[in-house]
Amino acid sequence: MRLKRLPIYSLFLHLVLVALAVQVVYLVQENRRLLDGGRPAQIATGETLEAIPARQLDGQETVLSFASSGKETLLLVFTTTCPICEDNQSAWRELYERFDEHYNVIGLSIGDLEPTRTYAANHALPFPVYIPQDPSGFPKRYKIPAVPQTLHLDRDGNVKHQWAGPLPQESFDKLAASNLGRLSDLGK
């Protein structure tokens, strides 16, 4: 009798192992799908940044349209509570001082009006600062899921370069090199 039970038991164990293997493969695929779908979309180089309904620090409503500005744009996206954004302020100030004549340098605070006013005043931000009219919906709609973000937009509002997190020194070199021809034409 033992000989007959052993093959059935063995067959049963093999079926259980096959079922478990199939289930593991399925769960791994589902996990990958969920992780990929769970990541927030990030704006990519070459994509166009659509116009952003915004408010100025005086509360007036406006629309930031990058396709009609006539200049390339440096969009500096931050929040008033972000420590890395705080660290980026000196780099952004340097960007403004070096490139303001050649680029539209714009700050965009994803937060409330009063804290942003205070932050801009306390940091003596030299560039204009705006707030999206819908700060909570801004990250998903414009595919900017984290701050700080520094976006270099061409005259049509297309993303030429982007830097997430601390702004590295080589970014200054890229900006100078990307606009070198036009910068030399401006002196004429």
Give the start-to-end residue ranges of the domains of the chain.
1-39, 52-186
pTM of the predicted protein model: 0.73
Cis peptide before 126 (omega within 30 of 0): no
Q: What is the distance between the alpha carbons of residues 116 and 81, in angstroms, rounded to a whole number?
A: 10
Provide the pLDDT for residue 179. Answer: 59
Q: What is the distance between the alpha carbons of residues 42 and 17, in angstroms, rounded to a whole number?
A: 41
Provide the pLDDT for residue 187. Answer: 30
Confidence of residue 14 (pLDDT cuts 50, 70, 90): confident
Tracing tokens 């590295």 back to the chain, one arrives at: 168
Q: What is the distance between the alpha carbons of residues 3 and 100, in angstroms, rounded to a whole number?
A: 87
Q: Packing angle between helix 170-178 and helix 83-99, nearest 10 degrees?
A: 30
Q: Which CATH number describes the domain made up of 52-186?
A: 3.40.30.10
User: Is residue 79 pLDDT above 90, yes or no?
Assistant: yes
Provide the pLDDT for residue 28. Answer: 80
CA 90 to chain centre: 19
Over residues 57-84, mean pLDDT: 91
The tens digit of pLDDT for each residue in 128-138 reads 999 999 998 99
Q: What is the distance between the alpha carbons of residues 143 and 149, in angstroms, rounded to a whole number?
A: 11
Over residues 76-92, mean pLDDT: 93
Q: What is the distance between the alpha carbons of residues 154 and 3, in angstroms, rounded to a whole number?
A: 78
Confidence of residue 6 (pLDDT cuts 50, 70, 90): low
Provide the pLDDT for residue 35. Answer: 64
List Cα–Cα distances, 164 to 78, 100, 113, in angstroms. 11, 21, 23
The tens digit of pLDDT for each residue in 92-102 reads 998 899 888 88
User: Which position has the higher pLDDT, 172 or 16?
Assistant: 16
Helix H or strand E encompassing 164: strand 159-164
Q: What is the distance between the alpha carbons of residues 49 and 157, in angstroms, rounded to a whole number?
A: 6
